Amino acid sequence: MKALVFARKPARYVAAVLAGRVVSGAGAKVGPLKLHEDHDIPELPGPGWRYIKPRLAGICGSDLATIDGTSSRYFEPIVSFPFVPGHEIVADLVDPANPKAPADGSNRVILEPVLGCVARNVSPVCEQCAAGNLGNCMNIAFGDLSPGLQSGFCCDTGGGWSTLMVAHESQLHSVPAHWTDEMAVMVEPAACAVHAALAAGITPGTTTVVVLGAGTLGLLTLAAIRSIAPDVTILVVAKHPEQRDEARKLGADHLAEPAEIKRAVRRLTGSKALTNAGPDGPIDRLTGGAAVVFDCVGSSESLADAIAVSGPRGRIMLVGMAGHTELDLTGLWHKELQLVGTYAYGTEEPAADGTPRRTFDLAMELVENHDLGRLVTATYPLNRYTEAISHAANAGRRGAIKIAFDLRTEKERDHL
């Protein structure tokens, strides 16, 4: 089987780090990621595991960080090498009775990639898994499988950037027949966005919410917030015109460019402002500001902006993956801000009555309601992976949002 494999190769890793610093996405050419034409087919780890054949597999920001070597060492103990990346996956479920039969799209599944207690055959399950907080599972490095926080980071499961992988039955959600594959591949990132939006605790009293960044995650978060809180005023900070257009379609009330954010939030919230450079200097921070800021970038600049524009006792939702970051936390301390991380998904209680619902189910509703399949701008076959990754790494500038690998044969593609 064909697969992109990420192996532990220190020399290549160093090369990727160096290249990635210069041009984002360049780590793919020189780094440890390699296309294997004839990669070993993973074995089924145990009962309840199935073969699936990925149809589309998205390229996520965390994948890019891995390829460019900018990920934190935090991940070292919770991944296992060599692994096949790709965790935003729509796939065909392979019939064990007839594994060679060509897929007709009638049995498509979306993978919920977190490898929690159930998939790892840990019994009894940990208390987080028991509570439905799959993303917070405490056994991601233990149990029957090698360490790996999700499929796509574990050497035993394979990943989406290949033609075949294994998945536990508990990880699979079936795809409605009228859905396109593009819609289905957006469900995993949408679930992250829904989880973040719900975790922010936006109440009817919340007036202004800021979303920093209008890449895939930013736009999906915007859509999720809009569906939760139709009346809240949302300011989206978007760098590129295509992002602005899309943000407007998804319900942003106001748009600002990154350099404009402090002025924009100040005006929106009617706040006063302070400058560090004398009375005539540029605005440095706001005395008031937004109730909730979603940082969908996760850089030190975006976090500094988030702190500057958050109102007292505001909440900063860290949606984008932040690694090592240099940050002045005085504002966090002084304004009594909450800096809240959000990762993955599990079970939510979106309704007032507290009925629990799978985040993935909510995400599928979001994708359906907003027809989010359109956010997949371009797809690439596996052997053009360097181009794909370069495109994904520069998506905003090149007018793209989500880039995915297309693993379907022409026949499979046309079947739908």
Partner 1 sequence: MPRPGFVLDVDKSTPPILFHHGEQFRLERLPAGRSRVIYPAEPIEALEDPEGAIRHALLNPMGDSKPLPDLLTPGMKLTIAFDDISLPLPQMRAPDIRQRIIEQVLDLAAAAGVDDVHLIAALALHRRMTETELRHALGDRIYDAFAPHGTLYNHDAEDPDNLLFVGETKHGEEVEINKRAAESDLIVYVNLNIVAMDGGWKSTATGLSSYRAIRHHHNVKTMEQSKSFMDRHSSELHHSNWRQGKVLRDAGIKIFQIETTINNNTFGTDGPLSVLQKREWEWSAKDRITFLGMQKGLDVMSAKQRRSAFHSWRAPYGLTSVQAGEVEAVHEVTLKHCFDQHLVAVEGQTDVLTMGLPFICPYNVNSVMNPILVMCLGLGYFFNLYRGKPLVREGGVLIMSHPTPWDFHPVHHPSYIDFFEQVLADTTDPAEIEQRYEKQFAEDEWYRHLYRTSYAYHGVHPFYMWYWGAHALKHLGRVIIVGGDPKSVRRLGFMPASTLQDALEMATDVVGPQPTITHLHNPPILMADVS
* Binding flag, residue 249, partner 1 (CB under 8 A): no
Size of the site for partner 1 (CB under 8 A): 17
DSSP string spanning 319-346?
-SPP-S-----HHHHHTT-EEEE--S--
Please give the Cα distance from 379 to 392 (Å, whole number). 10
Q: Which of 184, 192, 256, 392 binds partner 1 (CB under 8 A)?
A: 256
Binding window for partner 1 (CB under 8 A); candidates: 6-14, 63-71, 88-96, 257-265: 257-265
- Tokens coding 202: 């936006």
Stretch (H or E) spanning 157? none
d(CA 398, CA 179): 27
290 binding partner 1? (CB under 8 A): no
Stretch that binds partner 1, among 12-20, 268-276, 295-303, 355-363 (CB under 8 A): 268-276
Neighbours of 2 (CB within 10 A): 16
Residue position matching structure tokens 């301390």: 333
Task: Identify which of residues 273 and 339 has a Cβ nearer to partner 1 in the complex.
Answer: 273
Scanning 18-26, 145-153, 270-278, 307-315 for contacts with partner 1 by CB under 8 A, the matching segment is 270-278
Q: Which stretch binds partner 1 (CB under 8 A): 94-102, 197-205, 251-259, 363-371?
A: 251-259
Does 267 help bind partner 1 (rule: CB under 8 A)?
yes
**For partner 1, the closer CB: 38 or 231:** 231
Min separation Cβ 210 and partner 1, Å: 14
| Cβ at position 269, least distance to partner 1 in Å | 10
Between 263 and 413, CB nearer to partner 1: 263
What kind and span of H or E run contains 36? strand 33-36
Supply the minimum distance, in Å, between the C-beta of residue 65 and partner 1: 31
Q: Which is nearer to partner 1, 280 or 414 (CB)?
A: 280
Q: In whole angstroms, what is the distance from residue 155 CA to residue 143 CA?
A: 14
d(CA 359, CA 249): 23
Q: Which residues contact 143 (CB under 8 A, 6 or more apart)?
A: 117, 120, 121, 122
**Structure-token pair, residue 280:** 């005539």
Which spans of this chain sit near partner 1 (rule: CB under 8 A)?
254-257, 260, 263-264, 266-267, 270-273, 279-282
